[in-house]
Amino acid sequence: MRLLHLGELGSVVSIALMLTSLGACAAASEGDTGEDGGALDPKHDGGPRDDASPGEDTAGHPPDEDTGVGAHDGSSETTPDGGAHDDAGDDTTPPPPPTGGFVHPGIMVDGRQLAFVKAKIAAGTAPWKGALDAAKGSAWAKSTYTAKPRESVDCGSYSTPDYGCTDEKSDAIAAYTQALLWALTGEEAYAKKSAEILDAWSSTVKKHTLANAPLQSAWVGSVFPRAGELLKHTWTGWPAANQARFAKMLTDVYLPLVVKGDIETNGNWELSMIEATVDIAVFTDDRKLFDGAVAMWRKRVPAYIYLTSDGTTPVKPAGSTKSASDLTKYWYSPGKFVDGLVQETCRDYGHLEYGLAAMFNAAQTATIQGVDLFQAEQHRIAAALEFNTQYLDGVANPGWLCGGSFTDLKNGETWELAYAAIGIRLGVSLPHTKNVVEKNRPTGADHHMVWETLTHVE
């Protein structure tokens, strides 16, 4: 059985009311009366990852202790749409979007997913219940969390200087965490706190500057819209004027720095830019923007994940003039090119996961909107998953790869979403990915990788 999306449900209710009204009129005429913070899970250290090249910041830290630790007040005045259904998970085929429009909520999660997760939580089922507890116990979910907006967020290489960069990333995670907890628990205090954070930034921020401005804008521009999407389409308490101001912030402050992508930097930059553009397009109902971002994704993915069918060297980023030797250096001189190798595998696993997570996240949102990018690049993504997770699963470096050793070889906060899409929904055997995912549960939050176990286990 396929559950209705929130938008579909509203249409059905409207039609039912219309038919009821018509029936009543007919009866009367006949005389009848009748939607760089680190991981918080204790088994993850969640620390910042050192950058391997100038111009890219990877620092991310959990919220400072001065955000406060307070008890949730548990108040509930209204409840979100998309209640739990016993058979919510029966149909794993992505539903089509409504004709001529977008599915809402439809950034990373939709009404059917929320209903499925709510049912699992209500039954106390693992791993959803543990993942919910992890999110609720995080600093980002505190009722006393306080946003720290700035008019200008200034992010240099290695976050030096860091004027608002860590705070902005943390606030985006907090806004999404609180919005997600509202959608899953019905406790309105979470919705109010999320709106408070979004309103604080939309009334303050004007620009991003310095070397890491585009990447910072991409990371935050992909997480803030998730929070706004859930509030806008599951809660009636966010004023229309505030929603409009938030949308203007996305299109005026974040979008200009990400919409054109960047073919010369490491792939995680452009993939993060694509993710942000996709999310902003859905929130603002901009079909042209969405289509452009999807087209960019289709071009960038083959230039980020190698398959032997590509030839003796990887696909160049679209528009790049790199020579074969330039490409080898760009791929960090891996030793040789093999199926599933990623452009940043031999850089370090931190950046590898940033890039893949952005790829997966954008594909997830596009799939909700009826464009199944996972299926389009099923073989390439599956190869990347198994090739890279095997080394997280205990397989030794073969000696020729990456000079014989890896940098930052540890689990991040991704893999879960892609495993659900490729391994479960599309039925591809991914034994190493499965092992890594199950050992890594529940995932925490880091940059644009946020609570994947809670939202995307199938």
Domain range summary for the chain, segments of one domain joined by +: 1-34, 36-456
> What's the rounded Cα separation, in Å, for the pair 235 and 179?
10
User: In the chain, how long is the greatest CA-to-CA distance?
Assistant: 88
User: What is the three-class DSSP state of 152?
Assistant: strand
- Residue by residue, pLDDT tens for the chain (458 residues) are 343 443 443 443 343 433 343 333 333 333 333 333 333 333 333 333 333 333 344 333 333 333 332 333 333 334 454 333 333 334 445 555 555 699 999 999 999 999 999 999 999 999 999 999 999 999 999 999 999 999 999 999 878 899 999 999 999 999 999 999 999 999 999 999 999 999 999 999 999 999 999 999 999 999 999 999 999 999 999 999 999 999 999 999 999 999 999 999 999 999 999 999 999 999 999 999 999 999 999 999 999 999 999 999 999 999 999 999 999 999 999 999 999 999 999 999 999 999 999 999 999 999 999 999 999 999 999 999 999 999 999 999 999 999 999 999 999 999 999 999 999 999 999 999 999 999 999 999 999 999 999 999 99
In degrees rounded to 5, what are phi and psi of residue 317?
-55, 140
Query: Which run of H or E residues covers position 153?
Result: strand 152-155
What is the C-alpha to C-alpha distance for residues 286 and 276, in angstroms, rounded to an integer? 13
Cα-flanking dihedrals φ and ψ of residue 345, to 5°?
-55, -45
The DSSP 8-state label assigned to residue 305 in this structure reads B
CA–CA gap between residue 112 and residue 96 (Å, rounded) = 12
Kindly give the interhelix angle for 349-368 and 267-283, rounded to the nearest 10 degrees.
30
Query: Dihedral through CA 233, CA 238, CA 240, CA 242, nearest 10?
Result: -120
Report yes or no: 317 and 285 within 8 Å, Cβ to Cβ: no
Q: Cβ atoms within 10 A of the Cβ of 205, count?
A: 20
Cis ω for the linkage preceding 127 (within 30 of 0): yes
- The domain made up of 36-456 has a fold known as Glycosyltransferase (1.50.10)
The residues, any chain, with a CB within 8 Å of residue 73's CB and separated by 6 or more, are 143, 189
Query: Any residues with CB less than 8 A from the CB of 152 and at least 6 apart, and which?
Result: 163, 164, 205, 206, 207, 208, 209
DSSP 342: B
DSSP state of 37: P
* Nearest to 360, CA basis, from 304, 418, 298: 418
Half-sphere exposure of 224 (CA within 13 A, CB side): 34
Question: Do residues 386 and 300 lie in contact, with contact meaning Cβ atoms separated by under 8 Å?
Answer: no
